[in-house]
Copies of this chain bind each other. A is one copy, B any other.
Amino acid sequence: CVMRGAIIITSSGCFWYCIVCNSVFIYVSAQSGVGDSVLSAFRSICGEDGVSLGEAVREQHGKDESVHRCCPPDVVVFPRCVEEVSALAKVCHKHRLPIIPFGTGTGLEGGVGAVKVRCLCGHTFSHLEQLTSLVTTITNPGADASLCGMAATSASGTNAVRYGTMRENVINLEVVLADGSIVHTAGKDRRPRKTSAGYNLTNLFVGSEGTLGIITKTTLRLYGIPEAMVSAVCSFPSVQAAVDSTVQTLQAGVPIARIEFLDDVMIDACNRFSSLSYPVTPTLFLEFHGSEQSLEEQVKTTVPFLGTNTKEGKKKKVYYSVRGLSCWADVILHTACSAYSTDVCVPLSRLPQIIVETKEDLIENRLTGEKLSNFLLLKNVFASCRRALAMDGTCTGEHGVGLGKRALLCEEMGPVGIQVMQSLKDALDPNNLMNPGKILQREEP
């Protein structure tokens, strides 16, 4: 689909406006008995070419990258602007046709399954990187997600350690509500970095996974490309040693940009995929951002922690290479194809315990390997999540709830928390048309 958008460079940074692109997927309920009238309504909004019933296209958008089964929409339409999305939503609202906003289908928890309407806000992370001299270091998604989709799922990535997640970096959202009305969560065209003007609507929609509205425009806070970057790869004698170093480094307040853990199994895959020769032991990949001078200092502060894990006084090898992280990314990408990728988060203090326990669990169950906060599991996902919950953590740090973790969300939030979420859903989507059945299991008030 043709991408359209605008970048506005301001003295306070670069603000990216992700304009809705011209692909929206609409489901016409077979039972609704209004198929033809709805179709012609769609055509009158988007034109003849704007409505498609092609099976291939529908199949193509029937699922995300999760293991959840494909549920293709019946019809595809292509609006050209937010006003057309709004008009389409009004038609769906009138005929009680559910709606599911859809980014680029890179979700990992089945958030787009059982689709009705989908709204592709097509600008992706890589478009953003291409189009601006600044880089949105808020996240570095494994997949090339759409920006509005990233907002809808409260996405984050390996850079979140330093720059935060979408929650901290979305300044304003344009959202088409269930009744077709358009709301700007921080007021139209506003972009103050700090506000206490009423309820925080922006962060209510960030992470709502399309269950409260269709995000058609995202205003992001971006960060300048650092003067210099350095990556480090460090091998450890044990999982415990690697994780202890991670905790010490973060406690020391080093403004580290990335710190990722791979166990021996993943390192082995790493070596095979990218013909590298890393020692096949638990390994940390680190990345530092800043000025030349501050990089020196960051590395100087960090190296001792990496050293403290030396066995028999053997000195740790700390060398700098961007290949460290890129090869790792390749591996994750390759592995993910045949893996159930999910994530949990725990307080830093519980990190060593959960990693070690999970590793034991993996060996016990003969699973392939793990990455920090992103376990590559074919099964036992619930067990991992419950382990995190038992450690005061969360069942999902960045992938969202979707279909896959609705039961776990109940365990995490408790009945009152779920009830509060349900009443918010009922307030903004009384007919349960927006991505029904996601996040919350109860479909009707």
Tell me how far the C-beta of A201 lies from the nearest C-beta in chain B, rounded to whole angstroms.
Answer: 6
- Of A141-149, A321-329, A333-341, A388-396, the stretch lying at the interface with chain B is A388-396
Q: A246 vs B13: C-alpha distance in the bound complex, in angstroms?
A: 14
Q: Report if A35 contacts B (CB, 8 A).
A: no
Please tell me if the beta carbons of A345 and B192 are within 8 angstroms of each other in the complex.
yes
Please tell me if the beta carbons of B392 and A197 are within 8 angstroms of each other in the complex.
no
Q: A251 vs B11: C-alpha distance in the bound complex, in angstroms?
A: 7
Tell me how far the C-beta of A208 lies from the nearest C-beta in chain B, rounded to whole angstroms.
Answer: 6
Please tell me if the beta carbons of B250 and A12 are within 8 angstroms of each other in the complex.
yes
Q: Which of A164, A189, A345 has the most CB of B within 10 A?
A: A345
Please tell me if the beta carbons of B196 and A207 are within 8 angstroms of each other in the complex.
yes
Please tell me if the beta carbons of B414 and A195 are within 8 angstroms of each other in the complex.
no
Please tell me if the beta carbons of B201 and A420 are within 8 angstroms of each other in the complex.
yes
A-side interface mostly? loop
Q: Report if A426 contacts B (CB, 8 A).
A: yes
Hey, what's the 0/1 contact readout for A162-195 against B, CB within 8 Å counting as 1?
A: 0011011000000001000111111111111111
B183, B293, B395, B418: the one contacting A293 at CB < 8 Å is B293
Tell me how far the C-beta of A199 lies from the nearest C-beta in chain B, rounded to whole angstroms.
Answer: 5
Tell me how far the C-beta of A188 lies from the nearest C-beta in chain B, rounded to whole angstroms.
Answer: 6
B160, B194, B204, B224: the one contacting A398 at CB < 8 Å is B194
Please tell me if the beta carbons of B194 and A156 are within 8 angstroms of each other in the complex.
yes
Interface residues of A in 355-402 (CB under 8 A from B): 392-401
Please tell me if the beta carbons of B424 and A426 are within 8 angstroms of each other in the complex.
no
Interface size class of chain A, counting residues whose CB lies under 8 Å from the partner chain? 35 or more
Please give, as numbers and ranges, the residues of chain B lying within 8 Å of A401 by CB-CB distance: 196-198
Q: A200 vs B427: C-alpha distance in the bound complex, in angstroms?
A: 15
Q: A189 vs B416: C-alpha distance in the bound complex, in angstroms?
A: 14
- Of A56-64, A230-238, A346-354, the stretch lying at the interface with chain B is A346-354
A/B interface sample: 17 pairs, CB < 8 A: A10-B349, A11-B348, A12-B251, A12-B347, A154-B200, A165-B196, A177-B416, A183-B416, A185-B417, A190-B392, A196-B396, A196-B400, A197-B394, A198-B439, A199-B439, A293-B293, A420-B428
A residues neighboring B (CB under 8 Å)? 10-13, 153-156, 160, 164-165, 167-168, 177, 181-201, 203-204, 206-208, 212, 223-224, 247, 250-251, 253, 291, 293-294, 297, 345-349, 392-401, 405, 409, 412-414, 416-421, 423-428, 439-440
| Further 12 A-B residue pairs, CB within 8 A, beyond A12-B348, A187-B412, A199-B208 | A12-B251, A167-B203, A181-B419, A185-B417, A187-B413, A194-B398, A199-B424, A199-B425, A203-B204, A293-B294, A294-B297, A420-B428
